[in-house]
Structure 1
Amino acid sequence: MFTLTVRDHLMVAHSLPDPFFGPAQGLHGATFVVEAGFERAGLDEHNVVLDIGAATEALSAVLGRLSYRNLDEVEEFAGVLTTTEYLARWVAERLVESVDTTGLSAVEVVLREHPDAWASFRLALPA
């Protein structure tokens, strides 16, 4: 299995209004290092998983939809707890909409909220 991974970052504000989240219930900022991995069993006719430039541009465009925004004010997230795990899935789903997935078997997104804490979501693609 081959994987191509590109990385970017995302800065947002949000709140997690549930007692479960303690002090994170209030409005706070979050900076994520975002890694997007694209998997395929074999290389394509160009001997790549996916063009690095295309992968980088797709990740940048997806993150640009949220960058420097208060997620509490984004209509798409109304009533949603925008946890790190949830955002990892959201980014993965948007990436699949943004790149040619021909031959890809999965897309995995890792959001690193802190050097010691991160979450990921792996989206398997149909063969």
Structure 2
Amino acid sequence: MFSVTVRDHMMIAHSFTGAVFGPAQRLHGATYVVDVTFRRAELDDDGVVVDIGAAADQLHEVLGELTYRNLDEDPDLAGTNTTTEVLARVVADRLALRIGDGALGPGGRSLEGLAVTLHESHVAWASYDRRL
């Protein structure tokens, strides 16, 4: 399996519901470094997994829908604890929709999966893998 990874970042505000979250139940900010790995079994005719520039652009657009926002006020995320794990899935699912709509060109349709990793810090991160 071949893979290509692109990186970006986002800064969000949110709060959590549930005693397990302690002081994070209050509104707070988080900055994530976001890695997305695109996978496919065979390279395309140009010898690549995916156009890196197009992949980076799509990631940036998806993150632009979330960054500098209070996620507690986002109707699509209402009632959801937007943990790092949940946000990794949100980013993956939104990218998958764009890929399905052809945003990465014809080569994007041959992708078999992607993984999104949100790094909370240099010592903690969470990932979500999905098939396409």
Same fold (TM over 0.5): yes
Q: Does 1:109 align with 2:82?
A: no
Greater shift, 23-32 or 101-110, is seen at: 101-110
Q: How does 1:65-104 map to 2 (within 5 A)?
A: 65-99=65-99, 100=102, 101-104=108-111
Calculate the TM-score normalised by the size of structure 2: 0.92
Q: CA deviation at 1:4?
A: 0.6
Letter in structure 1 aligned against 2:29: G
Deviations 1:48-73 (A, max 9, x none): 00000110000000000011000001
Question: How many pairs does the alignment contain?
Answer: 125
Computed over aligned residues only, the root mean square deviation of the Cα atoms, in angstroms, reads 0.8
| Higher helix proportion (structure 1 or 2) | 2
Unaligned runs of 5+ in 2: 103-107
Calculate the TM-score normalised by the size of structure 1: 0.95
Aligned twin of 2:57:
57
Aligned twin of 2:105:
none
Q: CA deviation at 1:18?
A: 1.1
Unaligned runs of 5+ in 1: none
Letter in structure 1 aligned against 2:117: V
Q: How far apart are the structure 2 equivalents of 1:65 and 1:27?
A: 19
User: Which residue, 115, 120, 127 being the options, matches 2:127?
Assistant: 120
Q: How far apart are the structure 2 equivalents of 1:115 and 1:87?
A: 18
**Consecutive aligned runs of 4 or more in structure 1 exceeding 3 Å deviation:** none
